[in-house]
Amino acid sequence: MLNRTADNVARATPEPLAKKIRGISDKGLAWLFISPTILLLLAINIFPLFWAIYLSFTNYRANRPNEVVKNLGLSNYQRILGDQDIWIAMQTTAHFVFWTILLQTVIGFTLAWLIDRKFRGHAFWTTIILVPMMLSPAVVGNFWRFLYEPQIGLFSYVVSFVTGIPPTNVQMLSNVELAPWAIIIVDTWMWTPYVMLICLAGLRSIPEYIYEAAEVDRASNWRQFWSITLPMALPFIMLAVLFRGIENFKMFDMVNLLTGGGPGSTTEVASITLKRQAFESWRTGYSSAFAIILFVAVFGLANIYVKALNKVKQR
Amino acid sequence: MKSTLKLALGLASAIFASTAVSNVAHAEDLTLCWAAWDPANALVELSKDFTKETGIGMKFEFVPWTNYADRFLNELNSHGKLCDLIIGDSQWIGGAAENGHYVKLNDFFDKEKISMDDFVPATVVGYSEWPKNTPNYWALPAMGDVVGWTYRKDWFSKPELQKEFKEKYGWDLAPPTTFDQLKQIAEFFQKRQIDGKTVYGASIYTERGSEGITMGAMDVLYSYGFQYENPKKPYEMEGFVNSEKSVKGLEFYKALYDCCTPPGASNSYMGEGVDAFKSGQVAMHMNFAFTWPGLQKDENVGGDKIGYFVNPKGPDGDQFAQLGGQGISVVSYSAKQESALKYIKWFANKDVQAKWWSLGGYSCLNSVVKDPKFPSSQPYAQAFLDSMAIVKDFWAEPSYAPLLQASQKRFHDYVVAGQGSPKDALDGLVKDWTQVFQDDGKM
């Protein structure tokens, strides 16, 4: 009945229109649908990337549009790789990435393991733990700045209460030794729930029968953890490390809000240096070269890491 | 039916006409771009007279200081049409002139008989001229400003404190005339209990992100003998920027930061300084003069409780102060340049400038500031006048931004983070600045 109706409609369709409709193949239709997305990607991702690569070989400055643009060859790259300040910024970034990932992974996995025990009220506590992750980094940065305030901040008073040090001496954001840790604490507080969530997914994916078999073999809890839980959750943990690693390598908002890279340059991570070069000093060519170096570094490290992740998954 | 139709047509025509009229009016509106601060509010008030006189409406785009340079330099660099008039920072003048962002005003000044001789000379050089000390004008001096100091007059006049201070330092507790005296006073007040509260010596500029620590450190360095370059050989900085006197000056600034600022004041600029003074935390407060009218009116620390003093002298008796303030320019990408020039002409008027001062703006017109009644017109007027007579300014080169970034980094690394020595910081600064000028082909 339905086929007959369709046939009737097809026959009733005027020939020119029918030709037009028949003219678009399935493949053509697919291209038609995805082409806006591809054009958008080309415009906002691919073109700027190639443009930045081009600019990285020039002395172009965005604040001097009338100036002649000179080709400098590899000079910008050589200057960056020989710049002491850039290497200090890279070390600061590495320090920040290492400690945030370590703390977030350890605490995140521990929390996931505890939540996975399914104790009474675990759903409520899961929601509470997830709250920091749902806040805007701008909000988090601003309220932690107040918490760290040595004269009125709650953090200083808590530390003072525990250690007996006067609160005005707990200068988390002004002290050269403490400032990097102040940022690490905030980032860990905010993003540990994210790692916990991924680890929890990993733990929940381990089939129950494996533990039952281990129980039959009278394996201890410790043995079960080392031989079942950890290896089976490892791909998930590694995935969380990958996500957080990439995010923290380009960390900008929290550092900018909390310390602005200070005191001095003690918390000046690579992205802050890049922003200063690009939008404060207006060295567009130089900063494009720096951005390309950062991109290659993150892309290369991420690729190596993904290969390692695949190997772990195949085991 | 006919009358209803006529009524409807009439109503529609009236609505159309009124929309068209309002569109015409909007088309004539000028947009003035500036920083979001107290003087901007005064300018809004003042500009109502311009609208009344000319029928040209005024719109304002005010951006907080922390984003002011980023926002408006981006606007100018992208040849944006948002601003018809802009009150740009003094250091922008070189870049704005050379990159064609501002309209050159010489012909207009000649035509309208606006003479730069009628303005305070330091403001003409600082806000209008590029190249410096040449009669090429890109702005009309609009808002005079300079770094000076406020102090707690009520604390300074407490008999018990005066007695204790005299015993300790051998001179009367009074506004300092030298930087050594300033440090002694700051040390005296640091962590002292006054009216049941712990107070601190001084609030100084330490901000890293924009220009704060450079403005503060330079304010001290000038009086210690710092020079940007060899006066006889432009761009030769070795031995001038990092001279022994400059090293001593930077050392002093760090000592002042270490001994006498409130806890956590490692990123403090204009807003933070005002907060520290208003909340009764500090005995002295370094800040631009634009903050003074607001502080004078403050219920807790203003009135009889506040006093003002000029930047003190250095060890050799030299006395300078960091110039702030801005000139008003016509943006060359504006489609309403004629109306914008009308505004400049109106703003240069003597009566308008007098009203500008009375509303809280700092006029740069000689007839206003040299009026015999001027020093007594406000409690801070004399300190402002004296400060404006000793100003020096940062580089106003087209490359001022990388020059500023270099000094921000070098000063903050040494003063706040305590890395290296003052000599290292200034040697590093010479190296950075040399690189910038070499990139510009000036060395």
Q: Are B317 and B251 in a shared domain? A: yes
* Cross-strand partners of B306: B152
Secondary structure (3-state) at A135: coil
Give the span between the Cα atoms of B123 and B57, in whole angstroms. 28
Q: Are B195 and B335 in a shared domain? A: no
The residue out of B381, B412, B428 marking a domain boundary is B381
Judge contact between B400 and B318, C-beta under 8 A.
no
**Residues on chain B touching A150 (C-beta within 8 angstroms):** 263-264
Return the pLDDT at A3: 60
A109 has pLDDT over 60: yes
- Cis-peptide, bond into residue B131, ω within 30° of zero: yes
Q: Which residue has the tokens 């340059």?
A: A265
Return the pLDDT at B93: 92
Nearest to A281 among B209, B402, B413 (CB): B402
Say yes or no: B264 contacts chain A, CB-CB below 8 A: yes
- The closest alpha carbon to A285, from A49, A47, A54, belongs to A54
Burial of B358 (0-12, 13-18, 19+ CB in 10 A): middle
Please, which residues 68-87 of chain A have a Cβ atom closer than 8 Å to chain B?
Answer: 85
Return the pLDDT at B19: 45
The tally of domains found in chain B comes to: 2
Query: The CATH number of the domain where B276 resides is what?
Result: 3.40.190.10
Say yes or no: B414 contacts chain A, CB-CB below 8 A: yes
Give the span between the Cα atoms of B327 and B91, in whole angstroms. 10
A303 has pLDDT over 80: yes
Q: Kindly state whether residue B49 falls inside one of the protein's structural domains.
A: yes
Residue of B nearest to A169 (CA): B263
Mean pLDDT over residues A269-285, rounded? Answer: 92
Please, which residues 12-71 of chain A have a Cβ atom closer than 8 Å to chain B?
Answer: 59, 62-66
Q: Are B55 and B114 in a shared domain? A: yes
> How close is the nearest chain A Cα to the Cα of B433, in Å?
12
Secondary structure (3-state) at A71: strand
Query: Which of the residues in chain B have pLDDT under 70?
Result: 1-27
Q: Which of A174, A256, A268, A269 best probes binding to B when mutated, by most B CB atoms within 10 angstroms?
A: A174
- As given in the structure block, the two tokens for residue A268 are 């000046």
Q: Are B118 and B240 in a shared domain? A: no
Q: Are B260 and B407 in a shared domain? A: yes
Beta strands B197-203 and B192-194: pairing type? antiparallel
Q: Kindly state whether residue B388 falls inside one of the protein's structural domains.
A: no
Confidence band (pLDDT; 50, 70, 90) for A10?
low
Q: Which residue has the tokens 């082909």?
A: B441
* Cross-strand partners of B244: none
Return the pLDDT at B22: 43
Question: Amino acid identity, residue B52?
Answer: K
Q: Kindly state whether residue B235 falls inside one of the protein's structural domains.
A: yes
ipTM > 0.85 (yes/no):
no
A145 has pLDDT over 60: yes
Subunit contact A176:B79, Cβ cutoff 8 A: no
**Residues on chain A touching B416 (C-beta within 8 angstroms):** 174, 262-264
Please, which residues 152-211 of chain A have a Cβ atom closer than 8 Å to chain B?
Answer: 168-169, 171, 173-174, 176
State the Cα torsion A41-A46-A48-A50 to the nearest 10°: -170
Q: Which of B70, B193, B266, B397 best probes binding to A when mutated, by most A CB atoms within 10 angstroms?
A: B266
Q: Are B217 and B303 in a shared domain? A: yes
Q: Which residue has the tokens 């030298």?
A: B178
DSSP label at residue A68: P
DSSP label at residue A206: S
Nearest to A62 among B77, B263, B398 (CB): B77
Judge contact between B353 and B61, C-beta under 8 A.
no
Give the span between the Cα atoms of B284 and B201, in whole angstroms. 6
Give the span between the Cα atoms of A45 and A62, in whole angstroms. 19
Nearest to B417 among A168, A171, A263 (CB): A263
Backbone angles phi, psi at B370, to 5 degrees: -100, 5
* Cross-strand partners of B202: B284
Q: Are B232 and B114 in a shared domain? A: no
- Cis-peptide, bond into residue A263, ω within 30° of zero: yes
Say yes or no: B51 contacts chain A, CB-CB below 8 A: no
Q: Are B169 and B28 in a shared domain? A: no
What separation in angstroms does the CA of A111 have from each of A107, A116, A120, A194, B240?
6, 8, 15, 11, 59
Q: Give the structural domain span for B60.
A: 23-144+326-381
Judge contact between A86 and A234, C-beta under 8 A.
no
> How close is the nearest chain A Cα to the Cα of B33, in Å?
18
Say yes or no: B239 contacts chain A, CB-CB below 8 A: no
Burial of B197 (0-12, 13-18, 19+ CB in 10 A): exposed
Q: Kindly state whether residue B14 falls inside one of the protein's structural domains.
A: no
Give the span between the Cα atoms of B59 and B47, in whole angstroms. 10
Q: Are B45 and B127 in a shared domain? A: yes
The architecture CATH gives domain A80-314: Orthogonal Bundle (1.10)
Return the pLDDT at B20: 44
Return the pLDDT at A118: 78
DSSP label at residue A281: S
Return the pLDDT at B24: 43
- Taking the model in full, what pTM does it have? 0.85
Judge contact between B215 and B325, C-beta under 8 A.
no
Parse chain A into domains and list their residue ranges.
18-46, 80-314
Subunit contact A174:B401, Cβ cutoff 8 A: no
Q: Are B300 and B174 in a shared domain? A: yes
Give the span between the Cα atoms of B193 and A186, in whole angstroms. 34
Q: Kindly state whether residue B386 falls inside one of the protein's structural domains.
A: no
- As given in the structure block, the two tokens for residue B12 are 């529609």
> How close is the nearest chain B Cα to the Cα of A151, in Å?
7
Residue of A nearest to B206 (CA): A263
Q: Are B140 and B249 in a shared domain? A: no
Q: What is the 3-state secondary structure of chain B?
A: CHHHHHHHHHHHHHHHHHHHHHHHHHHHCEEEEEECCHHHHHHHHHHHHHHHHHCCCEEEEEECHHHHHHHHHHHHHCCCCCCCEEEEEHHHHHHHHHCCCECCCHHHHHHHCCCHHHECHHHHHHHHECCCCCCCECCEEEECCEEEEEEEHHHHCCHHHHHHHHHHHCCCCCCCCEHHHHHHHHHHHCCEEECCEEEEEEECCCCCCCCHHHHHHHHHHHHHCCCCCECCECCCCCCCCCCHHHHHHHHHHHHHHHHHCCCCCCCCCHHHHHHHHHCCCEEEEEEEHHHHHHHHHCCCCCHHHEEEECCCECCCCCCCEEECCEEEEEECCCCCHHHHHHHHHHHCCHHHHHHHHHHCCCCCEHHHHCCCCHHHHCCCHHHHHHHHCCEECCCCCCCHHHHHHHHHHHHHHHHCCCCCCHHHHHHHHHHHHHHHHHHCCCC
Q: Which residue has the tokens 């088309």?
A: B27
> How close is the nearest chain B Cα to the Cα of A63, in Å?
5
Q: Which residues are CB-neighbours of A308 under 8 A, at least 6 positions away?
A: A238
Q: Are B231 and B88 in a shared domain? A: no
- The closest alpha carbon to B342, from B106, B32, B100, B50, belongs to B50
